[in-house]
Amino acid sequence: MPLRKLFLILVIFSATVRAADEPAPREWTIDGVKREALVYAPPAAHDQPSPVIFAFHGHGGTMQIVARKWKYETLWPQAIVVYPQGLNTPGRLTDKEGKFPGWQAAPGEQDDRDLKFFDRILASLKKDYRVDESRIYVTGHSNGGTFVYVLWAARNDVFAAFAPASSSLSLTNVTVEKNAAEQKSWAPKPVLHIAGENDPLVKFQWQKLTIDTLRRINQCTDGQPWERNCTLYPSKIGAPVVALIHPGMHALPNSALPVIVKFFKEHPKPSTRSAK
């Protein structure tokens, strides 16, 4: 075989392998509206119980941008990773006219279009793969982080742990204590909250109040060092809170990504805590 032809075959094969390892686009139609996500699924997910990470972009973001930046599938190759795409949504702090994509900021908002979207994605994953229901996780940045808290309030029983970033409970329009008392939707769960000390958009003071609320919900004790910039607050009921406080602004630092994955790996649902 001529050397040039062999070289072209190797180039095409390498490109095909790379493409197979990247998240692929998928579509669903919900209430007549097309919804999209990028989904990575390891080959073993067809046969072996596999963890799932949902990762939500912030207001004005896209699934393509966060998939390129976050690359959770490279940090946990055994996990199914989903990067959903939001729809144009009025923002709590910016874009009041809703010209850019985002997520509902409270249960019941936008006719729960994004909760329905989440439900449909998860149902599709369970149909197509062997989802490990003891290891379903969610993370998100900014408005995506707010939606993480919406999922905690509305779909608490689905998840093993949460990791919102640059967000605040005050933006969800949910009264945590009332919700917890009447609906038990704020059931304690392991949570890692990432906050920038100089965040000009979601003020650090708001985020500190959120962390204090999480510690109260999860019945946490005094903090102790964990990873760099992280304080671990152990929980009397097995639902620790980790606060990752970095010196930056609103952006999610790259250094937080492996910490999020480590936290998720350490916290499957209690009944199968030995499974890794």
Q: For 213-271, write each residue's pLDDT tens digit.
A: 999 999 999 999 999 999 999 999 999 999 999 999 999 999 999 999 999 999 999 86
Domains within the chain, CATH numbers bracketed = 3-272 (3.40.50.1820)
The DSSP H or E segment spanning 121 is: helix 113-128
Longest Cα–Cα distance of the chain, Å, equals 74
* Angle in degrees, 0-180, between the axes of helices 176-183 and 204-217, rounded to the nearest 10: 30
CB atoms within 10 A of CB 128: 14
Single pTM value for the model: 0.88
Beta strands in 142-225 (DSSP E): 161-165, 191-196, 224-225
Buried (b) or exposed (e) across 131-165, using 16+ Cβ within 10 A?
Answer: bbbebbbbbbbbbbbbbbbbbbbbbbebbbbbbbb
**Mean pLDDT for all residues in the chain:** 88
Q: What is the pLDDT of residues 153-183, one digit of tens each?
A: 999 999 999 999 999 988 775 655 554 444 4
In this structure, the strands spanning 80-84 and 87-88 are unpaired
